[in-house]
Homo-oligomer: A and B are copies of this chain.
Amino acid sequence: MSQSFTEAEIPPNLCHLKNLDSLFRCPICFDYLDISMMVQHCSHNFCSLCIRKFLSYKLKCPVCNSAVTESDLRNNRILDDLVKTFQLARHQLLRVNFESPPVSPKT
């Protein structure tokens, strides 16, 4: 649920970057994972708010349908760090690929 670039901005010659981008997204809201929670027995990951809202309605994993309660959720903190760093790296990479070379610093 963070500010994001659109998928369309990743050029076709960077298909693996696009795949990496997809892995960082929540299967419920399709935005980048925001406070990632992992269901401990099936290892599926969701935004904390998204999965809690979902579980208040149905007690199963939205991806694999296994039985889940709130007590099966675990913070997956490395994913939060990865999502933040990926967004910075992605922004930097797309600038390097598409913008003109940097101007020499003022001396």
A residues at B contact (CB < 8 Å): 13-17, 19-20, 23-24, 38, 40, 43-45, 74-79, 81-82, 85-86, 88-89, 91-93, 96-97, 102
Contacts and interface: CB of A to CB of B under 8 A. Distances in A.
Contacts of A74: 38, 40, 43, 74
Contact of A89 (B17, B78, B96): B17
A93 to B, nearest CB: 6
Give the interface SS of chain A, mostly helix, strand, loop or mixed.
helix
Given A13-B102, A96-B14, A82 B23 contact: yes
Given A38-B76, A78-B43, A97-B97, A85 B16 contact: yes
A106 B23 CA distance: 34
A76 B79 CA distance: 10
Contacts of A13: 92, 96, 102
A81 B15 contact: no
A20 B96 CA distance: 17
